[in-house]
Amino acid sequence: MAFIDYYKILGIDKSATEKDIKKAYRKLARKYHPDLNPNNKEAEKKFKEINEANEVLSNAENRKKYDKYGKDWEHAEHFEKAEKEQQYRSSSQQRPSGNFSESDYSDFFESMFGGRTAGRRGSKVQFKGQDYNAELQLNLTDVYKTHKKTLTVNNKNIRLTIPAGVKNGQVIKIKGHGGQGINGGPNGDLHIKFSIINNTKFKLDQDNLYKTVDLDLYKAILGGEITFDIFDGKVKLKVKPETKNGTKIKLKGKGFPIYKKEGQFGDLYITYQIIIPENLSAKEKELFNELAKLRST
């Protein structure tokens, strides 16, 4: 079988760094990817060669074997083991120098495997398909409850369960929904990154929610009850007399759902903001003046 020059396939030389290999592979993979070259057999063949070359050269150990053994690099361990045994058994004879040519390796494997030596092409080495990356934009209200959503990726509909409490920037993997495997290899995976837009008046920190609630001056002084919106409804709270501006209250278990912990929630923290009345009537001003006089005596 002819020698396959993986360096030539990627357009690099043997001194290429790991970064050079990665850069060359990505550039060529984009150019010859089947999705960008539909029904193009030549591009499909080139894409397989590029993946094959990258599979070998991007792995330091495999690259080392390839540089030493060429097309027979996959059998390097067998060769080295057999060579050691041969050297041990033939210690009284001239020991091989170890500087074998390409044809020497081929002859060795022909005898070792009964003429069945096969490189990566001959044995149709399997490759995992390309991983896909996608971004899904949702509102904060969308991820308060677990729900299902259908996504279309490469003309395929994927029914996705979105767990309650998923976070902004979080990435989940859907196994087997990436690119098709090569030579019967497994399909790649789909990685979905969530972009969560806060479309509410709540601030979210981890699993806790924070909200500022207006409190009129009279209830702040005299006390009473107020009703305000929480994330999934309304709540009624008693306000203590003489409540100060900026007072904070914690409502346990009224926060955001905890990711993949069914029925568990963070807490809700309320901060009271006292609202000073405006456009006072003459009578109101008179009453406030009376209060001021009472407080000064």
**Structure confidence by residue, pLDDT tens digits, 22-50:** 999 989 988 888 878 888 888 888 888 89
What is the model's pLDDT at position 235? 92
CB under 8 Å to 14, separation ≥6 — which residues? 7, 67
**Structure confidence by residue, pLDDT tens digits, 196-255:** 999 999 999 999 999 999 999 999 999 999 999 898 889 999 999 999 999 999 999 999
| 6-112: CATH number | 1.10.287.110
Q: Given the DSSP bridges, would you call strands 156-162 and 224-230 parallel, antiparallel or unpaired? A: unpaired
Q: For every one of its 297 residues, what pLDDT tens digit does the chain have, with 9 covering 90 and above?
A: 345 788 999 999 889 999 999 999 989 988 888 878 888 888 888 888 898 889 889 988 888 888 887 766 666 666 666 566 656 555 544 444 455 444 444 454 444 444 444 444 445 567 788 888 888 899 999 999 998 988 877 778 888 889 999 999 999 998 888 888 877 888 888 888 999 999 999 999 999 999 999 999 999 999 999 999 898 889 999 999 999 999 999 999 999 999 989 889 999 999 999 999 889 899 988 888 888 888 876
β partners of residue 211: 270
Q: What is the dihedral of CA 155, 156, 161, 165, to 10 degrees?
A: -30
| 203-296: CATH number | 2.60.260.20
C-beta of residue 149 within 8 angstroms of C-beta of residue 160: yes
CATH 2.60.260.20, the chain: domain bounds: 132-197, 203-296
C-beta of residue 277 within 8 angstroms of C-beta of residue 288: no
Residues in the chain: 297
What is the model's pLDDT at position 188? 87
Instruction: Write down the CATH superfamily of domain 132-197.
Output: Urease metallochaperone UreE, N-terminal domain (2.60.260.20)
What is the model's pLDDT at position 294? 86
3-state secondary structure 64-112: HHHHHHHHHHHHHHHHHHHHHHHHHHCCCCCCCCCCCCHHHHHHHHHHH
CATH 1.10.287.110, the chain: domain bounds: 6-112
Tell me how far apart the alpha carbons of residues 191 and 171 are, in angstroms, rounded to a whole number: 6
Tell me how far apart the alpha carbons of residues 184 and 188 are, in angstroms, rounded to a whole number: 12
C-beta of residue 194 within 8 angstroms of C-beta of residue 165: no
pTM (2 decimals)? 0.53
What is the model's pLDDT at position 257? 95
What is the model's pLDDT at position 113? 42
C-beta of residue 162 within 8 angstroms of C-beta of residue 149: yes
